Structure 1
Amino acid sequence: PVASSLYGSRFLAGGLGGSITHQCFYSPTPANKHDRKYWCKIARNGVCYTIISSRSYISSGYEGRVALGDAPQNGTFTVTMTGLRSSDAGTYRCGIGSTSEGLYVSLNLTVLADAPPSKPTQLIRGELHGSVTVLCPSGDTHSDKERFWCKMGRSICTLIASSDGYVGWRYQGRVLITPQESSGAFKVLMNDLRKEDSGLYLCGTRGWRGQDSPQEVVLQVATVSTIPRRPKFLSGTVGGSLAFQCHHDPKGTYERKYLCRWTGGSCSVLLDDEGFVLESYRGRVQMSSSDPGRYTVVLRQLREEDAGWYWCGARSGHAELTAPLKLLIHRG
């Protein structure tokens, strides 16, 4: 199956007599919007027998306890099963197509005597070359726990970034995990989005006793983008100066615009539009804004240690619009 266009949770747990709700997220192409949606269960012979489909079909034995709702404009369809029985445990597929072998995602359903409530999967949409902000409601206020962000493969979740400073090499300069708020929640910021970033992610906290129940996040990166690809690498010489522009939505309302220095999955603010300048940069960095939709940063008296990743940022509510750039510093 072309799994890159269809995403959903890989594991579900429900309580006996209780219910589960499962969301499938698909690329909202014209074909996907109008095609048949289905929910099937894999039998011992390996065949996936349809339980319900968007063509008004419901398998006998499931009438009155299964429902399927499709929202083509959002690229999601939802399956709800109620009155769970121990025999409902097993492997299911949610999919799109005329047969159960088309486009699908497999998942395992476990039916327990007493299942904890599950967190709904977040759907985040981003644009090619753009940025996203993911809110991870941890619920755990112990700041000594490691915060993590990983991407699900077929069976394992590959670590992308963690609060101990680890960032995978493919994500250098374009992902960070914020410190925890008093509620225990934290944010994951990701930018310079690419098509291959689409997929299912997990974020959460983990300590020496294991990880807490993570938040599932589906990221869909739109292949058509209104964001132009801008130069990401800038070059300067020791002792010289460098000016560059940071862009944001001219129609947007932002509480704060800033430039920060990215290292090891965190970003220290150097200056902002409220007048803050980091002590060690005073007198050699300046921000000005003349046109709506962009601001200019000038960095003077360049030093070799100025080389590295920087982020242009603009905050709007809990969302952060960010874009990376890398400074290359040469000796004169």
Structure 2
Amino acid sequence: PVSSSLHGSRFLTGALGGSITHQCFYSPTPANKYERKYWCKVAANGVCYTVIASSSYTSSEYRGRVSLGDAPQNGTFSVTMTGLGSGDAGTYRCGIGSTNEGLYVSLNLTVLADATVSRPTQLIRGELHGSVTVLCPSGDTQGGKKRFWCKVGRSSCTLIASSDGYVGRRYQGRILFTPQESSGAFRVLMNDLKKEDSGLYLCGTQGLRGQDSPQEVVLQVASASALPRRPKFLSGTVGGSLSFQCHHDPKGTYEKKYLCRWKAGSCPVLLDDEGFVLEPYKGRMQMSGGDPERGTYTVVLRQLREEDAGWYWCGARSGHTELTAPLKLLIHRG
């Protein structure tokens, strides 16, 4: 049986006489890899008539201007339509299954005289309990406008986090916006991944259109994970001390390992493996005894204060990618 999730863009815009390419992302399970892939158009009577399918069928009216390519090893298939006419506008489905009623994503195609080309959807894969880094482009180099990250639902995009410090309740301690680069691009870091985080997201800058429209991101969280579920909560007593381990991939190479303090979607670094310690923590926080073979390092925090309570992130940076994991510190009065 066809299993699990299928994701793709919900809206496509093409230019008259031009072409569009639509990507569908699916869980690369054995059942999905070998099942029929299809692209169909919904008619006025509600029936979805096949335009093209991986079973070598192509509708006669589209022959010569539609193609379907499947990459089972990546869990993606793409459909390209050329020579777009106004009659091509409408609702389509990309799906998997022996009929056109199985697993599918519906989308609306608009055909305009002068459409701008939208960016290709970005596919990001993560592991259960792991973390991902998403690069979001932006045309706003001044940096004055609000950045956002939202999850696409049936009728709207639910805001998860924005650069003004808003973070949705279910994402507290799990999401971070990094400062934007000179190009206006920024990164979204998300960790403690759950199966239900799989889906279609948008990230971008509020109020920008056309070339600067939001980036579509499909996140697939693999249900089988080599990453163990680690304790997320630690407790200590005022005046006491505690130590905890941070984990990273022992096979990875990292420029920097660090601990930062998470608050409202940002995370200033408190200390790192190059000897930096933020002023208020000098003398009471240190990184000790890394074990590269096991992929761990230990953080010790002494003379605990009530204000130390809150979220912290263990981090390891490798190029544009950051491996992060959250933990919450609870402080009790003696």
TM-score bracket, shorter-length normalisation: over 0.9
**1:21 — aligned with what?**
21
Which residues of 2 match residues 113-124 of structure 1 at below 5 A? 113-124=113-124
Partners of 1:60 and 1:210 lie apart in 2 by 34
Moved over 2 A (4+): 207-212
| Structure 1: distance between partners of 2:57 and 2:203 | 36
Quote the offset at 1:142 in angstroms. Answer: 2.1
TM-score by length of 2: 0.97
Cα distance in 2, alignment partners of residues 131 and 278 from structure 1: 25
Find the counterpart in structure 2 of residue 35 from structure 1: 35
Contact 1:203–1:215 (Cα < 8 Å) also in 2: yes
C-alpha offsets along residues 246-301 of structure 1, whole Å, 9 cap, x if unaligned?
A: 00001100000000000001001000111111111111100023311111000010
Task: Find the counterpart in structure 1 of residue 324 from structure 2.
Answer: 322
Aligned partners of 2:25 and 2:76 also within 8 Å: yes
Give, in whole Å, the separation in 2 of the partners of 1:331 and 1:92. Answer: 60
How many residues align? The count is 331
The alignment partner of 1:93 has SS state of: strand
Q: Distance in 1 between matches of 2:241 and 2:211?
A: 47
Q: How far 1:212 moved relative to its partner?
A: 4.5
Corresponding letter in the other structure for 2:316: A
* Partners of 1:183 and 1:212 in 2: CA distance: 12
Task: Output one character per residue of 1:280-328: Cα deviation in whole Å (capped at 9) or x when no partner.
Answer: 1111100023311111000010000000000000000000000000000
| In structure 2, distance between residues paired with 1:279 and 1:305 | 15
Q: What percentage of residue pairs aligned between the two structures are identical?
A: 85
Question: Which residue does 1:279 correspond to in 2?
Answer: 279
Query: Given that residues 4 and 199 in structure 1 are in contact (C-alpha distance below 8 angstroms), is that contact kept between their aligned partners in structure 2?
Result: no
> Cα deviations across residues 214-240 of structure 1 (Å, max 9, x unaligned)?
000000000000000010000000000
User: Equivalent residues in 2 for 1:1-332 (5 A)?
Assistant: 5-207=5-207, 212-292=212-292, 293-332=295-334
Deviates more, 1:4-13 or 1:195-204: 4-13
- Provide closer, same or farther for how the CA distance between residues 83 and 32 of structure 1 changes in structure 2, counting only shifts above 3 A: same
Give structure 1 stretches of 5+ with no counterpart. Answer: none
Structure 2 gaps of 5+ residues are none
Q: Contact 1:205/1:211 (CA < 8 Å) preserved in 2?
A: no
Find the residue that maps to 1:170 and give its secondary structure: helix
User: Does the aligned pair in 2 maintain the 1:308–1:327 contact within 8 Å?
Assistant: yes
Q: Is the 8 A contact 2:3 2:29 kept in 1?
A: no
Q: Which moved more, 1:135-144 or 1:321-330?
A: 135-144
